[in-house]
Amino acid sequence: MPRFHSINIVSGCTPLHPICKGDIKTQVYNGRKISKKYIWLASNYTKNLNVVQMEEKFDAIIVGAGAAGLGAAYRLAKNGFNVVVLERGQRIGAKNVYGGRIYSHVFEKEIPEFTKEAPVERWVKKERLTFMNESDAVSLELFSSDQSSFIAILSKFNEWLGKKVEEAGGLVIPGFKVDDLIIEDGAVKGIVAGEEKLYSDVVIDAEGINPILAMKAGLRGDWKPNQVAVGVKEVIKLSEEKINDLFDLNEGEGMANLFLGYPTKYGLGGGFLYTNKDTISLGIVVRIDSAIAKQIAVYDIVEDFRLHPFIARILKEGSPIEYSAHLVPEGYHVPSKLAANGILLAGDVAGFVLNRGLTIRGVDLAFLSGLLAAETVKEAHEAKDFSETTLKAYESKLRNSIVINELEAFKKASTLLSNLRFYETYPQLVCEVLKEAYTIGENSQKIYPILREKMKGRISLLTLIRDLISAVRNL
């Protein structure tokens, strides 16, 4: 059962803001009399008023209601811990832009009946990689009967995860901006929100891409331009039947399509198209340093991408209904320390996103990092020790999990994906060579002479071979 119980309150306060102080009318809370000031916290789902004594200490405070924070809260709540998730957005999922693929194995293992309950848009059955220049496109496509990943709208998905946290006994509070950490004697003891303070044994920092609290805790510095990318997404409305027809999909089947070349104006990054149930998520991701160097107008190129002949013919009957942008970690940039006295880092703030060119994953890694953070907090409670000495076991758990194992295995991929030729030279070469090879006239040519002609002044054969070998080895 949840440890937070709804009670009647009196004062001039109304539930228009997540924090409000006043006097207690009802004298019993969790089986004991209280007559102190209270903070009321409006539940994200029940909208009941949950009372917390000012000096009541949580077992864990989690900052950020993304996959990492909600994963940690779910595991802790299931184990009976007094846990609260504080989310800056006015509703759970309000700040989530991601609309794409999520790998399911971690969720299926942790949450019973996941496949029946989760808000899955479609299960990925088709993988497509498209090379694109200004007018043409060349695609490689895989169809598989495997069911290991799905397409989801993250705002809906995280709202569902939040409900699972509350069902398990935790509390998820939106509209709650955490400004600072309470640090006493070199240890994190809680959080500061405006003029209010909430205490806990441990803070799990899952604040996302903006590492405000992590920097205050001394666990990491700010991101550099080559370590972060900006993602911009449009949601296009189409009927479910139309999407099935356009992409040759059966009911419940989806496609994940990544693009290289023209969508980012040949900068470091790529385009994406994901088939939701009755919408399309279309967008681009461009690394900040590349956008600066190439003077890319990031907020305009999504429309240029949508108007490309290859995309326009697909989406001509659709209409944009949503536009959003967000920063995402790029490359392997995990901080050397993920734990300190009273605090752990999980999810995007720790850099747990893997881009290996062919696939992009982060939500499952974030969720698993939250679960491992929760296990570490559980062990710390058992030992009654919340120092870095105990909490650094979290780093060992990560190293023994797919989180760090996968990031380490594809560490060289981030270096390879910083090679501008994969975005600028090769997409154009592929399109130009195949277009000419398929053009039949009086003087048709074989592919190799066409390739050599198109390579002149662009790239040597030796460099092309080296890049190809490097891609095969590292992606």
Q: What's the confidence (pLDDT) of residue 7?
A: 32
Q: Which residues pair with 52 in a beta bridge?
A: 39
Q: Is the pTM of this model over 0.95?
A: no
Residue 167, domain member (yes or no)? yes
Residue 407, domain member (yes or no)? no
Same domain, 122 and 234: yes
Same domain, 162 and 179: yes
Q: What is the mean pLDDT of residues 96-113?
A: 88
**Integer Cα distance of 380 and 372 in angstroms:** 12
Q: Which two tokens stand for residue 89?
A: 């957005």
Beta strand 171-173 with 149-153 is: unpaired
Higher pLDDT, 444 or 245: 245
Residue 405, domain member (yes or no)? no
Phi, psi of 334 (to 5 degrees): -80, 130
Q: What is the mean pLDDT of residues 57-83?
A: 96
Among 400, 416, 399, CA closest to 336: 399
- 14-23, 194-203, 229-238, range with the lowest pLDDT: 14-23
Cβ within 8 Å of residue 437, ≥6 positions away: 445, 447, 450
**Integer Cα distance of 112 and 96 in angstroms:** 24
Same domain, 164 and 291: no
CB 121 within 8 Å of CB 152 = yes
Same domain, 461 and 442: yes
**Integer Cα distance of 261 and 238 in angstroms:** 26
Q: What is the mean pLDDT of residues 306-316?
A: 95
Same domain, 423 and 451: yes
**Integer Cα distance of 29 and 232 in angstroms:** 46
Q: What's the confidence (pLDDT) of residue 99?
A: 67
Residue 73, domain member (yes or no)? yes
Residue 398, domain member (yes or no)? no
**Integer Cα distance of 312 and 393 in angstroms:** 51
Same domain, 211 and 103: no
CB 272 within 8 Å of CB 301 = no
Q: What's the confidence (pLDDT) of residue 56?
A: 65
Residue 25, domain member (yes or no)? yes
Give the residue numbers spanning the domain of 76.
Answer: 9-93+156-220+335-349+362-386
Instruction: Please count the structural domains in the chain.
Output: 3
Q: Report the phi/psi class of residue 439: left, alpha or beta, with left for phi > 0 and alpha for psi in -120 to 50.
A: beta
CB 437 within 8 Å of CB 449 = no
CATH of the domain at 236: 3.30.9
Residue 4, domain member (yes or no)? no
Same domain, 77 and 184: yes
Q: How confident is the model at residue 70 (pLDDT cuts 50, 70, 90)?
A: very high
Same domain, 193 and 315: no
CA–chain centroid gap for 184, Å, is: 32
Same domain, 170 and 260: no
Q: What's the confidence (pLDDT) of residue 37?
A: 36
Same domain, 196 and 309: no
Same domain, 192 and 312: no
Dihedral of CA atoms 109, 113, 119, 125 in degrees, nearest 10, equals 70
CATH of the domain at 13: 3.50.50.60
Same domain, 248 and 305: yes
Residue 399, domain member (yes or no)? no
